[in-house]
Structure 1
Amino acid sequence: MLISIIIPTCLRSECELIRAIDSVLWNGYDNIEIIVVNDNRTNSFDDFCFLISRYSSASIKFLYNTGEKGAASARNYAVNYSSGELITFLDDDDFILPGRLEQMYLAFIELESKGIHLISTGRVYQYENYSQLEIVGRQLFGKINLKDIYIHNDIDIGFMVRKSFFLELNGFDQSYKNLEDWDFIIRALKLGGAYKLKSFSYIVKNDISNNRVSNNDYIGLEKILNNYSSEFGLVWKEKIEIQIARSMNKYGLRKAIRATFVCRSLYPIINYLGYIKNAIISK
């Protein structure tokens, strides 16, 4: 079965983009197409010339996103040009380890009939050009339902999904500036389940940089809050507001105490202590 691997890029790093592409080509699953979509606001298709010559014999499509810019739009744009029955996503500064695609494919074929719509794997953070590697802690594995991820998303952007199902849900919501993958996963898991393989084969670049979109999680969190607060209830709302406060560096003890009474648990206080600990370590 043909798998389309979608890689959006703003061409920030030629080296990292090549690493991402090569990690797919060397993954060991041959029935693939790679779609690299240029989402840079100022560059054009001509900026792919160095890649076109490098990968002239590989099954790679190079596209320029002529629509609305942003990660959600670029991925949707590329999906519309994909030929695979299955699709998966890879950020241009991340990469995958050998065997991941076949492992996910085999799991998908086995589990789709049991109501599983998404297949994912575990992930590893790499910091500052491999000066530190970290297996992300407290990851969930096995079958994952909506209530497993609706407060903290544990499924990375590299999930595998059937293209027809992705299009049925209208893809990623392009009004999101970030966390559009979490919103999609919430919508997908309302209709079935996901399965996360215990394979640490998705490697995430996690350098500390103010230029990374993920430092502005509060933007996506506020949209998640607005879209689902009436559906998921008061305690859920309070826990998302804690995440927003943490993302904005505005999580104080007063809010933690108030949230403790709303949630009727020690979750807010424990979260606050973790927030303080991280603040001290980062100084």
Structure 2
Amino acid sequence: MNDTAAPLVSVYVPTRNRSALLRRAVDSVLEQTWPRIEILVCDEASTDDTPEVLAWYARCHPGKFVVLRNETPQGACRARNRCIEHASGTYVTGLDDDDFFHPQRIECLVNLYRDHSPSFACSRFRYFQTVSQVTALRDRHHDGAELAKTDTLDLQGLLYANLAGNQVLTELSRMRELGGFDEAMPSWQDYDMWIRLADRFGPAVRARSLLSFVDDDRSRARIRNSSRRAEGSERFIAKHERLMNADQRRNHRNIQYVMNRERPPLGEIVRNVSLGGYKSTIKLLLHKFFGVAIG
């Protein structure tokens, strides 16, 4: 497909004071095999050399970058939404500034979207703490047959767990129709967005190939390791409980027990067993009897 025939894909990147990691993230977008991409970066009042780094990229890649800045930190969701407001693509996807893409990710997801007409397209992802742990996976070339292998993610499955990860590709118009990310959510904003997409537009499709890499460096503060994650879970349940069946509600109750480091009586755990969300029950039992809290 030539550049003029390919639909434009907008990639939003929120960032704050992580210029070295930001370079890695942006470079992974520039290395994509898909021919038409715009990159929108919203700088959350960085005090390091992030503005200079972004100015350099904009000079070196004219017409490909949109650089936005919040003079005071307003949160990752507001930064993402500002990018979405300024985007021009047919499709949109996102990237956190400490993560990176496989070079074939966007091409794969656009093709899956066009072939399957889902609410959104995503891929399998891998956590890493050092890049060396995923170098071979990042550098591996996937043939067309591999990239065409998919799983369907329906709303009922997604209500048990965030099976899509922290980034998906969908139509820009759909993100805007749903009002973007919920800026009132202290965490779980991604999961909330995917549920709203699936509820409005139907099942999603997930590539079985590993095409996204999520930095799990424990030396840095992470939302998923903080009390904000538990608060986000509570708001998520309140927002989407109407969509959940009893088993899904039990599953999320178990997830909250673990996040809040609670050890309910064994009888309560037995009454709260979730068959569809059996992993949350296992995690709760490990936490109760061995003090192991698995995120």
Superposition TM-score tier, normalisation by shorter sequence: 0.7 to 0.9
Q: Does the 8 Å contact 1:67/1:73 carry over to 2?
A: no
Alignment of 1:261 with 2:253, yes or no, is no
Q: Does the 8 Å contact 1:39/1:70 carry over to 2?
A: yes
- CA distance in structure 1 between the partners assigned to 2:245 and 2:293 by the alignment: 34
Q: How far does residue 210 in structure 1 lie from its aligned partner after superposition?
A: 6.4
TM-score (norm 1): 0.85
- CA distance in structure 2 between the partners assigned to 1:278 and 1:130 by the alignment: 31
Question: Number of matched residues?
Answer: 269
Which shifted more, 58-67 or 22-31?
58-67
Residues 176/86 of structure 1: CA separation in 2 closer, same or farther (3 Å cut): same
Q: Does the 8 Å contact 1:257/1:269 carry over to 2?
A: no
Residue aligning to 1:226:
238
Q: How far does residue 207 in structure 1 lie from its aligned partner after superposition?
A: 1.9
Unaligned stretches of 5+ in structure 1? none
The secondary structure found in structure 1 opposite 2:13 is strand
Alignment of 1:25 with 2:30, yes or no, is yes
- CA distance in structure 2 between the partners assigned to 1:215 and 1:43 by the alignment: 24
Alignment of 1:100-139 (within 5 A): 100-112=105-117, 116-127=118-129, 129-130=130-131, 132=133
Alignment of 1:94-173 (within 5 A): 94-112=99-117, 116-127=118-129, 129-130=130-131, 132=133, 141-173=150-182
Q: Aligned match of 1:53 in 46, 56, 63?
A: 56
Q: How far does residue 67 in structure 1 lie from its aligned partner after superposition?
A: 8.3
Residues 143/264 of structure 1: CA separation in 2 closer, same or farther (3 Å cut): closer
The secondary structure found in structure 1 opposite 2:165 is coil
1:132-156 deviation per Cα after TM superposition (whole angstroms, max 9, x unaligned):
4599xxxx95111011111211112
Alignment of 1:53-92 (within 5 A): 53-58=56-61, 59-65=64-70, 69-92=74-97
Residues 48/149 of structure 1: CA separation in 2 closer, same or farther (3 Å cut): same
Unaligned stretches of 5+ in structure 2? 1-6, 138-148
Q: Does the 8 Å contact 2:100/2:213 carry over to 1?
A: yes
- CA distance in structure 1 between the partners assigned to 2:222 and 2:71 by the alignment: 23
The one-letter code sitting in structure 2 at the alignment partner of 1:162 is E
Q: How far does residue 82 in structure 1 lie from its aligned partner after superposition?
A: 0.7
Residue aligning to 1:212:
222
- CA distance in structure 2 between the partners assigned to 1:125 and 1:247 by the alignment: 19
The one-letter code sitting in structure 1 at the alignment partner of 2:211 is S
The secondary structure found in structure 2 opposite 1:165 is helix
Q: Does the 8 Å contact 1:36/1:62 carry over to 2?
A: yes
- CA distance in structure 1 between the partners assigned to 2:268 and 2:178 by the alignment: 37
Q: Aligned match of 2:204 in 188, 194, 200?
A: 194
Q: How far does residue 223 in structure 1 lie from its aligned partner after superposition?
A: 0.3
Q: How far does residue 71 in structure 1 lie from its aligned partner after superposition?
A: 1.6
Q: How far does residue 196 in structure 1 lie from its aligned partner after superposition?
A: 0.2
Q: How far does residue 93 in structure 1 lie from its aligned partner after superposition?
A: 0.1
TM-score (norm 2): 0.82
Identical counterparts, % of pairs: 24
Q: How far does residue 272 in structure 1 lie from its aligned partner after superposition?
A: 2.3
